[in-house]
Structure 1
Amino acid sequence: MLHETWKTHEPLKKVEVVHTNAQKFKVSDMLTVGKQYDVINETEDYYQIIDNAGLVGGYYKTYFKEV
């Protein structure tokens, strides 16, 4: 299963958090505005990154800009 090896994969690219203004979920605890994160996996709508908790989480691309 692909998701079980995400932490050991080479990052695809880096993204920087632009905002944490979520409509439905609170993401300000897991993302820091201005901080850069490595993208582990990417889908059409989401980036999977290692967040502030040290776990891989999926977040909408609208929170980020590519570095």
Structure 2
Amino acid sequence: MDTESELLEHVALAERTATANPMDRAAVIAHVQAIRYRLVEIADGPIAAFMADDAARILGDGIGRLFF
């Protein structure tokens, strides 16, 4: 599976899970984490480290934090 289709699949699953009743918070977070990991994995260039750090702050799990 290529990166674009993988990302789109996770986005669709996250949206579907977030709008389900009742919402499964853990499943939504898992899909958002998968999206973030994929984006950080393919990031390249001088700002890739900052992108990983910001992604960890946004999600709040601390994984990927490089700067404190």
TM-score category of the 2 structures, normalised to the smaller one = under 0.3
Larger helix fraction of residues: 2
Q: Which has the larger radius of gyration?
A: 2
**What TM-score results when the alignment is normalised by the length of structure 1?**
0.22
Structure richer in strand, relative to its length? 1
TM norm structure 2: 0.22
Kindly indicate whether structure 1 or structure 2 has the higher relative contact order, using CA contacts under 8 Å at least 6 residues apart: 1
